[in-house]
Amino acid sequence: MAVMLALALLVVGGVALVNALSSDSEGGPPETAATAGTAGTPGSADPAPTRSSRSRSAASTPLVIRVIGAPTKVVVTVPETGEVLQQGVLNTGEERQYDKAPLQVVAADGGAVEVLIYGREQPRATAGERKNWFVPSRG
């Protein structure tokens, strides 16, 4: 029963992420392009996404996202609650780190991002192709 509930939550979360990406209109709200770590701006108080620290063990960090190609829209959600941790465009060279799991990740251009899940680089999509990743809980 619990497995079916977890699977249902994953499906609902995935559908919500796809809908969020595909229903985004141009000229969306300005906060969708906000970046973490920008002091004094609305939404900057959320401690979940942080700049990655090179001294920190990547293997213990559930999720690190780096934009290595063109700027692309990225959505990161907590599947169990539907909480949105990131929804907006990440620019070339931008990096985000998330210290909790499970997480659902969708990139509009999966070829433009490098995704590390517990320190392991994940396969990228072809440039311009949407890509989904799931970050499981450890333990």
For position 59, what pLDDT does the model report?
82
pLDDT mean by block of 10 residues, the chain; 139 residues? 47 49 39 34 39 55 98 97 98 98 98 98 96 93
Integer Cα distance of 74 and 110 in angstroms:
9
For position 13, what pLDDT does the model report?
54
Integer Cα distance of 50 and 76 in angstroms:
13
**CB-based contact 116:68 (threshold 8 Å):** no
pTM over 0.95: no
The reply to whether 34 falls in a domain is no
For position 77, what pLDDT does the model report?
98
The reply to whether 35 falls in a domain is no
Q: Which range marks the domain in which residue 91 is found?
A: 2-24+48-135
Q: How many domains are there within the chain? A: 1
Integer Cα distance of 91 and 68 in angstroms:
9
Residue 124, both tokens: 């990228």
The reply to whether 36 falls in a domain is no
For position 35, what pLDDT does the model report?
34
- Helix, strand, coil distribution of the chain in percent, nearest 5: 20, 30, 50
DSSP-H helix ranges across the chain: 2-22
